[in-house]
Amino acid sequence: MSSRLDSDAIYALRRLRRHLTWWRVLTVIGFTLAILANLNARDLKFDGDHVARVEITGIIVDDPDFIWMLDEIADDPHVKALLLDIDSPGGTFTGSESVFDALRRVAEVKPVVAVMGGMATSGAYMSAVAADRIYAGRGTITGSIGVIMETADVTDLMEKIGVTPEIIKSGDLKATPNPSEKLSDAARAQLQGVIDELHLAFMEKVAERRNLSLDEVRARTGDGRIMTGPTAMQAGLLDEIGNADAARAWLAAEKGIDANLPQEEWYLEEDYDWLRAGASTVSRAIFGKSLLPESLRLDGILALWHPSISGGR
Task: Say yes or no: 23 and 145 in one domain.
Answer: no
Most confident stretch, 138-152, 161-175, 197-211: 197-211
CA pair distance 74, 72, nearest whole angstrom = 5
**115 and 4 assigned to the same domain:** no
- Asked about 213 being catalytic, the answer comes back as no
State whether 155 and 63 are in the same domain: yes
Q: Are residues 210 and 163 in the same domain?
A: yes
User: How many domains does the chain divide into?
Assistant: 2
- CA-nearest of 214, 215, 219, 241 to 228 is 241
Q: CATH code at 244?
A: 3.90.226.10
Claim to verify: residue 64 and residue 153 sit in the same structural domain? yes
Q: Give the Cα separation of 236 and 220 in Å (integer).
A: 9
* Beta-ladder partners of 50: 79
> Which whole number is the average pLDDT over 162-170?
69
Element (H, E) at 304: strand 302-304
Stretch 132-156: mean pLDDT:
86
- Pick the catalytic residue: 122, 144, 290, 310? 122
Supply the pLDDT for residue 184: 76
Residue 264's Cβ-count burial label (10 Å; 0-12, 13-18, 19+) is middle
Give the distance, in angstroms, between the CA of residue 256 and the centroid of all CA atoms in the same chain: 29
pLDDT, one tens digit per residue, over 270-312 is 544 444 444 444 444 433 333 333 333 334 566 666 555 444 4
pLDDT for residue 5: 47
Share of the chain above pLDDT 90, in %: 53
Q: List pLDDT tens digits, range 102-137.
A: 999 999 999 999 999 999 999 999 999 999 999 999
Share the mean pLDDT of the chain: 79
Q: How far apart are CA 97 and CA 213, in angstroms?
A: 20
One domain, residues 46 and 159 = yes
The range of the structural domain enclosing residue 57 comes to 41-310
Determine the straight-line distance between the first and last CA of the chain, rounded to whole angstroms: 91
* Same domain as 103, residue 12: no
Same domain, 4 and 121: no
182 labelled catalytic: no
Residue 233 has pLDDT above 50, yes or no: yes
| Same domain membership, residue 48 and residue 11 | no
Examine the domain organization and report whether 143 and 190 are in the same domain: yes
Whether the predicted pLDDT of 53 surpasses 70: yes
Whether the pTM exceeds 0.85: the reply is no
Q: Per-residue pLDDT tens for 5-37?
A: 455 555 555 665 565 555 555 555 655 554 444
pLDDT for the residue 13: 55
Domain identity same for 33 and 49: no
Q: Please name the amino acid found at residue 190.
A: Q
- Whether residue 22 is found in the same domain as residue 93: no
> 3-state DSSP: the chain helix, strand, coil percent, rounded to 5?
50, 15, 35
